[in-house]
Structure 1
Amino acid sequence: MEILTSIAMLMVTMVLIVLYFAIRIFTGKSRNNKEYVPVHATIFDLFYHIRNSYDYETEIARKKPTFRFLSVGGSEIFTADPRNVEHILKTRFEIYSKGESNRVNLFDLLGHGIFNTDGEKWKQQRKLASFEFTARVLRDFSCNVFRRNASKLVGFVNGLAISGKAFDAQDMLMRYSLDSIFKVGFGVELGCLDGFSKEGEEFMEAFDEANVASSSRFFDPLWKVKWFLKIGSQSRLEKSIATIDKFVYGLITTKRKELAEEHELAKEHNVAVREDILSRFLVASEKDPENMNDKYLRDIILSFMIAGKDTTAATLSWFLYMLCKNPLVQEKIVQEIRDVTSSNEKTIDVDGFVQSITEEVLERVQYLHAALSETLRLYPPVPVDTKCAEDDDILPDGHRVSKGDNVSYVGYAMGRMTYIWGEDAEEFKPERWLKDGVFQPESPFKFISFHAGPRICLGKDFAYRQMKIISMALLHFFRFKMADEKTNVHYQTMLTLHLEGGLHLCATPRTSA
């Protein structure tokens, strides 16, 4: 009898939960009002398609450029219309914020970092970051770091190429990018590419796991229940955050000590204090220690991790994948590299070649720039980005938005829309960016990979510079192909567009290096 009673209570509880969600989802949403964004389904349908969500959104966007899913307490609106994107990111920038639900979803990972905040905190971080990214000293320093690590990368791949072993190019590029951003951003040699940093390995694994678990919150209406019960993805997130925090707080403590020592040295010998990103924020924190405490600095660091590691490495991984699928494009890039560097297939001095990649040379690789942009068009590092309407509004396509609704622009889908890019939208075609051999930029509201409006990516030129140096070094010395041509490559649903399971390639030396 007690068992039957327990089962009955459980069933009643489940019915009540379903009724609660049904009431919250289907009431007060203007579902049949044609002035509002047309309803496609509920948020549960989006959760059902979580593994292929970006392709699912793409299929819907082909028929309805703007559509919505009903969620608990509001609507999740998606748009692939460049007019709406410009409206959200620029024209009505002041009423489209990160939104409370979005901030909560990302708070455990990013806290009050620049990608998860609005208002004064955002302005403060952007102002300091803007100073860094426009400084010539950072540009020169970062290029030296990229060249040095590119040489390491060539040596690493060369060993694998000679042995004929396949390797995970995405994992390799993630290590390279993490080493580079730590050196450029925080003045620290992490050594992930060399394989001798156990802490670095643990941090990288935890960071990727936290990325995946945080992303799942945007699709899973029950994530708060999982967080409370410490189960599933939210249990993994909690453990990952603990690993991340231990590493980052240790870095902050170390940097504070170094900065204090450098201040004393500067007083005695008139030596300038280093100007890496973390040091600048530490100096700023001395003026406002109450607001810019270690937790705030931790949030800033992890935001730069997302920007400096994941986006660049993910783009380069998709770029190599595209070159394997389009070998003629790969060879055209190689020929351009040889032309602008005055090198040939007999050039085997790795360090010498990498040092020849000057600022002038980087400006001349127009076809490479186009191929990277074409990769970003089809595989944007941030496939979907979300804002929240702080007031009722009307989008340029005529659809109404209610206060509190989330509005997402779907960059992954936009790159595949024929009404934006033409009938060949799904083709990998670097030539679409060139006119008489010269790269022609597109509107950032159409080519949305670097965001647009007041929040446009400060590190755009920084990212292109890094990707070009790595690409030129790798493609000059190696020819790449898929380890298994029959492999179906798929993305992993997370904040940044990684390849699920990695990118397994084989490399063949182009020279006798």
Structure 2
Amino acid sequence: MPLLVAYLQCMILVFIFFLVINFYRKRNKLVLRHLPIFGILPEVLFDFHLFHDKLSKILRTRKGTILINYWLSPYNILITSDPANVHYMLTTNFSRYPKGSEWRKRFDVFGRGLFNSDFEEWTLQRKAARGFFTHTKFHQLTAKIVPEIIEKGVIPVLEYACKNNLQVDLQDLLKRYAFDYATIIATGCNPKSLSIGMPEIPFSKAFADAGEAIFFRHFVPETLWKLQRWLRIGKERKYRDGWRVINEFYQNLLVKQDEPRKDEESFNVLNLYLNRNAIVLPRDNDEEIMRDNVISIIFAGEDTTSTALTWFFWLVSQNPKAISKIREEIKLNATPKDANKGDEDRPRLFNFDELSNLVYLHAALCESLRLFPSIPYETRTPTQQDQLPSGHRVNEKTFVIICAYAMGRMETVWGEDCYEFKPERWITDDGGIKHEPSHKFFAFSTRPRMCLGKEIAFVIMKAIAAAIIYNYDIQVLENPPVIPSLSISLRMKHGLMVKINRKSY
């Protein structure tokens, strides 16, 4: 009964909200940020598909930080894109700003793994993750499987599309590339999702649905989304169904662990857990953590990498000069594999260990991530009363949202040309990559929680970017429109439809 009452109250509030909107629109006085009671909420929610840009615009006019006090929520909401605030919270005073219970409540699909943990539990799991990602075998396995996936998976699909004049959803192709890699690293199993038929990936669809539900959990009253979950309706129904798919996927991976595999493929997170290897610091009764970390690695490897690559290809497709510079750099600094075999008709792939020489390509990827960070928002909950460098006061009842998307569009942070795609801003006078502090370039979070897979992510992205750009011309189609999804990741809502043509050397 209390849930039903809460639901009715929410519906009444929504009804009142739209009555107010209609009242102001009819009088041509729709200055949304000034609406009574609702504050700036309508300005953000009106034309919700433009959410990211609208919020960025508001933050620019408010010097990078806004504090919202809504009677609809027991929490105050502070939204910031100010690097000084980010550095203060996530580096200088890291222990005071954990992810907290509100984060875990909304991101419960990740359970008790590294992605959701805080304090001592986070320290233990972070140590284990670092041991895995810095291990020599991990880098050897990556150097082996990434070129294989490109050569045996990506290239055949692109060649088939070229020969048959087919449209390709490039986001879907890149997602499959990252999914196959991440699943091998996490479990030793190759799902081989990259094939001519492009088989459906239920896991990816499940996480896409879960990501949208989690995003909306931040903008509707908790009683409402919990009621939706109880009634199995709306986005919470998709979330619940997706969770079942994710668990079934994981259980199938457990079964496959008994299958024989090559020695190098035995170095994966799931196998190390099951064999209680010291690298992952196994503990008693940690089956749940094992599951949560395996799923988190697959999600992070698949979703964030493919999202970053998709926006990169969209940006360079609009900048022919950037594509020319990348191709010229590859020609000068990378050696084609099997260069002496003389097969000129075959697409040219490049030696994996030479990817570090591609400075301009690295800069272009950084610039893409600045404008379109794969994870556009992070949240924190203070453990005590505090004052941020911006002067805003926070306490235990403040829900802090860090807006990485807006940070890349702040003129005070990146200059007046911050809206331009300009890889040159990342290159030093002596031709190296310019270092930008992580609390300013927030695409990989910042220390101590900076993404452990940052360096390997660049290698994975450069490998496929070099292969595609050097061998193919990409034409982005006008329909469907290119817009970001409203989810915990910034993937494109309708994918990225392109025509692919072989480039003549």
Q: In structure 1, what is the Cα distance between the partners aligned to 2:6 and 2:463?
A: 61
Which whole-Å deviations, capped at 9, do the CAs of 1:247-286 have from their partners, x for residues lacking one?
112213433x46xx89xx9xxxxx8993212222333499
Give the drift of 1:49: 5.4
Q: In structure 2, what is the Cα distance between the partners aligned to 1:13 and 1:494?
A: 26
Question: 1:205 aligned to 2:220?
Answer: no
Which of 377, 381, 389 aligns to 1:384? It is 377
Query: 2:432 is matched with which residue?
Result: 438
Query: 2:176 is matched with which residue?
Result: 175
Q: Is the 8 A contact 2:66 2:80 kept in 1?
A: yes
Q: Is the 8 A contact 1:357 1:469 kept in 2?
A: no
Q: In structure 1, what is the Cα distance between the partners aligned to 2:344 and 2:401?
A: 48
Query: 1:501 is matched with which residue?
Result: 494
Q: Secondary structure at the match of 1:507?
A: strand
Q: Is the 8 A contact 1:46 1:219 kept in 2?
A: no
Distance change (3 Å), C-alpha of 1:439 and 1:304: same
Distance change (3 Å), C-alpha of 1:88 and 1:284: farther
Which whole-Å deviations, capped at 9, do the CAs of 1:377-397 have from their partners, x for residues lacking one?
000000011111111111112
Distance change (3 Å), C-alpha of 1:283 and 1:186: same
Letter in 1 for 2:310: S
Query: 1:254 is matched with which residue?
Result: 256
Letter in 1 for 2:120: E
Query: 1:464 is matched with which residue?
Result: 458
Q: In structure 2, what is the Cα distance between the partners aligned to 1:498 and 1:42?
A: 26
Query: 2:409 is matched with which residue?
Result: 416
Letter in 1 for 2:146: F
Q: Is the 8 A contact 2:189 2:256 kept in 1?
A: no
Query: 1:448 is matched with which residue?
Result: 442
Which whole-Å deviations, capped at 9, do the CAs of 1:102-141 have from their partners, x for residues lacking one?
210110x211121112123322221111011111221121
Question: 1:477 aligned to 2:477?
Answer: no
Query: 1:52 is matched with which residue?
Result: 50
Question: 1:299 aligned to 2:292?
Answer: yes
Distance change (3 Å), C-alpha of 1:317 and 1:16: closer
Distance change (3 Å), C-alpha of 1:48 and 1:301: farther
Q: Secondary structure at the match of 1:336?
A: helix
Which whole-Å deviations, capped at 9, do the CAs of 1:471-490 have from their partners, x for residues lacking one?
11111110111123x75310
Give the drift of 1:462: 0.7
Q: Secondary structure at the match of 1:104?
A: helix
Q: Is the 8 A contact 1:285 1:292 kept in 2?
A: no
Q: Is the 8 A contact 2:188 2:265 kept in 1?
A: no
Q: Is the 8 A contact 1:192 1:201 kept in 2?
A: yes
Give the drift of 1:212: 1.7
Q: In structure 2, what is the Cα distance between the partners aligned to 1:53 and 1:12?
A: 25
Query: 1:75 is matched with which residue?
Result: 76
Q: Is the 8 A contact 2:404 2:443 kept in 1?
A: yes
Q: Is the 8 A contact 1:99 1:406 kept in 2?
A: no
Q: In structure 1, what is the Cα distance between the partners aligned to 2:5 and 2:113?
A: 41
Query: 2:269 is matched with which residue?
Result: 277
Q: Where does 1:275-424 land on structure 2 (aligned, <5 Å)?
A: 275-284=267-276, 290-293=284-287, 295-342=288-335, 348=344, 350=346, 353-354=348-349, 356-359=350-353, 361-424=354-417
Q: In structure 2, what is the Cα distance between the partners aligned to 1:503 and 1:106?
A: 27
Q: Is the 8 A contact 1:154 1:477 kept in 2?
A: no
Give the drift of 1:14: 3.8
Distance change (3 Å), C-alpha of 1:241 and 1:272: closer
Give the drift of 1:40: 8.6
Q: Is the 8 A contact 1:191 1:197 kept in 2?
A: no
Q: Name the % identity.
A: 29
Query: 1:6 is matched with which residue?
Result: none
Letter in 2 for 1:70: N
Higher mean Cα deviation, 237-246 or 40-49?
Answer: 40-49
Which whole-Å deviations, capped at 9, do the CAs of 1:32-52 have from their partners, x for residues lacking one?
xxxxxxx99366765555432
Query: 1:100 is matched with which residue?
Result: 101
Q: In structure 2, what is the Cα distance between the partners aligned to 1:500 and 1:458?
A: 27
Letter in 2 for 1:68: L
Q: In structure 2, what is the Cα distance between the partners aligned to 1:291 and 1:73?
A: 36
Question: 1:234 aligned to 2:228?
Answer: no
Letter in 1 for 2:204: M
Distance change (3 Å), C-alpha of 1:134 and 1:225: same
Query: 1:27 is matched with which residue?
Result: none
**TM-score normalised to the size of structure 1?**
0.84
Q: Is the 8 A contact 1:386 1:407 kept in 2?
A: yes
Letter in 2 for 1:117: S
User: Mind listing any 5+ residue stretches in structure 2 that lack a counterpart?
Assistant: 18-36
Which whole-Å deviations, capped at 9, do the CAs of 1:63-113 have from their partners, x for residues lacking one?
111102335111111111100000111011001011212210110x21112
Q: Where does 1:108-147 land on structure 2 (aligned, <5 Å)?
A: 109-147=109-147
Q: In structure 1, what is the Cα distance between the partners aligned to 2:198 and 2:272?
A: 26
Distance change (3 Å), C-alpha of 1:82 and 1:477: same
Q: In structure 1, what is the Cα distance between the partners aligned to 2:417 and 2:6?
A: 53
Q: In structure 1, what is the Cα distance between the partners aligned to 2:456 and 2:5?
A: 56
Query: 1:63 is matched with which residue?
Result: 61
Distance change (3 Å), C-alpha of 1:210 and 1:370: same
Q: Where does 1:214-229 land on structure 2 (aligned, <5 Å)?
A: 214-221=214-221, 222-229=224-231
Letter in 1 for 2:410: M
Which whole-Å deviations, capped at 9, do the CAs of 1:159-184 have from their partners, x for residues lacking one?
11222221100011111111111112
Q: In structure 1, what is the Cα distance between the partners aligned to 2:326 and 2:358?
A: 8
